[in-house]
Chains A and B, each alone.
Chain A
Amino acid sequence: MKYYARRIAFYAVTLWAALTLNFFIPRLMPGDPADIMLAKLARVGRDIPPAVEQSIRLLLGSDTGEPLGTQYVTYLGRIFSGDLGVSVTQYPVSVATLISESLPWTIGLVGISTLLAFLVGIAGGIWIGAKRGTWVDGLIPASTLLQSVPYFWLALLLVYFFSVQNSWFPRIHAYGLEFTSGPEWSWAFVGSVLYYGTLPALTIVLSSFGGWLLGMRNMMVSTLSDDYVTTAEAKGLRNSRVLLTYAARNAILPSIAGFGISLGFVVAGSIVMEQVFSYPGIGKLLIQAVQNNDYALMQGIFLIITVTVLAANFIMDLVYGFIDPRTRHNG
């Protein structure tokens, strides 16, 4: 029990530290957001009536005159009541609304693709591990190559072949334009979402399953040479049983830990893909926020990312403490 208490305390402190950094970092950045926004509007050729200028100034109130300490306390209080402020880029929509609209897209798409990449990688790793030393080993460098190709490049290649050259898959967005008033609960809509998600998901799967494949294959190779596996083989157990219940079950442990960590990065890890496909997720919002010095939005997104990473790690910690008793003792 002491183990769990210690972990919980550790995560509480980490969360606080993250929240605090989250508060200070944007405030230490240079530049007056109001000037930047006005200059941007001018750059795209928009006429700026004095009324708009005035409202931008009021809204961004570059210097509120409040001491930093007071602002910090207000900030913490508001976060715990779920109020993340108002976005400047999408003024006057609240940050919480923007995040809650994008989060399902990111979690759905990136979450499922991460899981798919993991499953494909693990299954492939078991298979290649079992047939080590044959031609299938050649698949490893091929998958590593896919992983080392820059992410956006892979995305653009997919777009070029499957969407521009042959219009098999749509180029942008998360669902079809025929749903003119947004998401709805219908089979047609679900189908549209799957169809539109195919290329983005393929990008993620192709570029990340290689790591799982390599890791799993190597663990398989070393586990397969363990004495207990040899014993199992000597007992004359079925090959598949030796492979799956004896070798793979032990070999998968490090991959599961790794999977926990990569789940934590689901929310943050999709920026490039979302940009290429105009996918309405969190990564896109983050880019917009950074480009426009939208402090409130940035903070809100960092907060969500921090919390998901911490939560994923926390859960993995608990699960690990449960599966592997050794981790519960001081080593």
Chain B
Amino acid sequence: MLRYTRRHRILAAVGFASGLAIIATGCSSPSGDEAGTEKTLTVFAGAQTPVVANFNPFSPSPLAGTTGLVYQPLFHFNRMSSEDAKPLLGTAYEFSEDGRELTIDIRDDAKWNDGEPVTVDDVVFTFTYEVARPETLTDAVAVDEDTVKLTFSDPQFVNVVGLLGTALVLPKHIWEGNEDPTAGVNEDPVGTGPYVVDEISGGAYTFTANEEYWAPPALETVRYLAIDGNQAAEDLIAAGEIDYTSIFSANYQSLVDGGMGYMVLPSDPTVLYTCANADLGCTGPQTDPAVREAIYLAIDRETITEKAFVGLTTPMSPTLALLGRDDEWIGEGQPHEDPQTADPEAAGEVLEAAGYSKNGDGIYEKDGVPVELTMNSVDGWTDYNNAGKLIEEQAAAAGIKITAGTFSWQEFSDGRQTGQFELMLGFMKTTSLADPWQIYNDFLTTEFTAPVGEQLDPSHFNFTRYSNPVVDEAVARASATDDEAVKAEAYDAIQTEIVRDLPYIPVNMNAAQTFFNDTDFEGWPTEDNLYAYQQTGSALDMAYILQNLKPAGK
């Protein structure tokens, strides 16, 4: 029995090795050996074992690749730059003066991957399909054979990414009459994208190039691996078995030395959520803006970047605009960047000016109430947990007592939905358009919050319960216009308020690490040419990149 098994193991090993040669994973693979078959690009985009076929774009967790590779939106918006959207299925779009009418030109040579032509009817169907219909849409009509006009009840300037950049175009002839589109796994998806589903096993699934696509991609096959845990992913990068992934690795230098391309991009801002608004039920010293400002000044961001985030994070702006990309939206005279070193004296002065004085323990207090706060981060997010400890020490140096603890994700999520917390170390989501409007709208307006104790709507992110009529008014003003000057003025007004009030105390820009094989494949975005956000977690960007790659040397 044993001998038998061993023989088969060797056989399998041989089979595996030759399999590897075909899959060709980085290190070896002499090029002349497999003439005609090129290397398969292997991606890890977070899939876990077992892989279960699910390509339903309406399902909460379809397999990566469903969005972008099979189903595409009309345009690609690049969140890394302020340039115009790139045409995909749509070739041009135009808003009417008041932003209530949107005219879109559709490519006339596009086909579904089942061979049917893509028509304006499909686009109209997509926007009027019950589950996908935008709330404010009042009318969608085909103007002619390749033009669609959408009419809305509100100006849609700021919603342009949602309409053109993320809404996936659906084939009318397949989805029409489907009573329950959210159910089902849509095993054989028909889309307009550059790839079609090929094969699925428990550990991986593959896509092959869609020959019907109007610009057939250069890479024949793309394979998605299912891996549980970052350690395994890291080992596979080191072994050259993964060509493209975004994972956090403190050990990135050795992977880079091993020959992987590597890029760090600013992604999500790390901030301290404060429950800021006593009127909506927040309690604790942090409801006083002076305390928030003192904490802001007491944080030594340089140390946090170095010690907690292994040097990977970059400064952020107190205006919450993305530095670099959104520079033009930072108002005249607004602070550009957070102070990188701590200034405990200044923090003390702010508190003293607000009527606080130091008690016997060296902690500031007012009316006998010491400035003592609890701050939590999600247990297991070690970078955040460490940052928490550092902030605790730094605040103590400025006479503020912060007790840093950890929460399960569950408690964290509950806490921020209901507003029952003092401080939490959390994050914001970068906007997909080069414009901070969405952050201002989603995180700061009264409409997007609720009294403490009441659950926020899951698409509402004003966790701090901040409510400021000046901000509300300015956000509304900015959303109703396409005029840059009006917008800039509105943003400036918002920035003045939030830089003073600090409902979110900025810490730094978290960095997203991406590893990519630039030996066998070329066409990756570079620092100088960031034509898409290079994160595998961002499905549409990733698909756009895959569509632009080609085998090296061809």
Contact = CB atoms under 8 A, between A and B. Distances in A.
A156 interface: yes
Interface string A37-53: 11101111111111111
B9 interface: yes
A212 interface: no
A278 interface: yes
B523 interface: no
Contacts of A45: 267-268, 429-430, 535, 537-538
Contacts of A171: 232, 235-236, 239, 241
Q: Place the interface of chain A in its size category.
A: 35 or more
Interface in B63-92: none
B162 interface: yes
A194 B9 contact: yes
B46 A55 contact: no
Interface string A166-192: 011011111111111111000110111
Q: Place the interface of chain B in its size category.
A: 35 or more
Contacts of B135: 50
Contact of A93 (B12, B54, B432): B54
A23 B456 CA distance: 28
A34 B58 contact: no
Interface string A129-173: 000000000000000000000000000100100011001101111
Contact of B414 (A30, A276, A277): A30
A178 B19 contact: yes
A55 B58 contact: yes
Given A48-B459, A53-B458, A59-B182, A177 B203 contact: yes
A295 to B, nearest CB: 13
A69 B11 CA distance: 57
A64 to B, nearest CB: 17
Interface in A4-54: 30-32, 34-39, 41-54
Given A177-B19, A191-B9, A284 B48 contact: yes
B50 A101 contact: yes
Interface of A: 30-32, 34-39, 41-56, 58-59, 88-93, 98, 101-102, 156, 159, 163-164, 167-168, 170-183, 187-188, 190-192, 194-195, 198, 274-280, 284-285, 287-288, 293
14 contacts: A39-B413, A45-B430, A55-B182, A58-B182, A91-B54, A91-B59, A93-B54, A163-B235, A164-B238, A173-B202, A177-B203, A194-B5, A280-B49, A293-B410
Interface of B: 5, 8-9, 11-13, 15-16, 19, 22-23, 46, 48-50, 52, 54, 56, 58-61, 131-132, 134-135, 162, 166-167, 182-185, 198-204, 206, 223, 225-229, 231-232, 235-236, 238-239, 241, 267-268, 409-411, 413-414, 417, 427, 429-430, 432, 455, 458-459, 535, 537-540
Given A164-B239, A173-B49, A278-B49, 17 more contacts: A30-B410, A31-B413, A38-B458, A45-B429, A48-B459, A51-B58, A58-B182, A91-B59, A159-B235, A170-B16, A171-B241, A174-B203, A176-B12, A176-B15, A179-B201, A191-B15, A195-B9
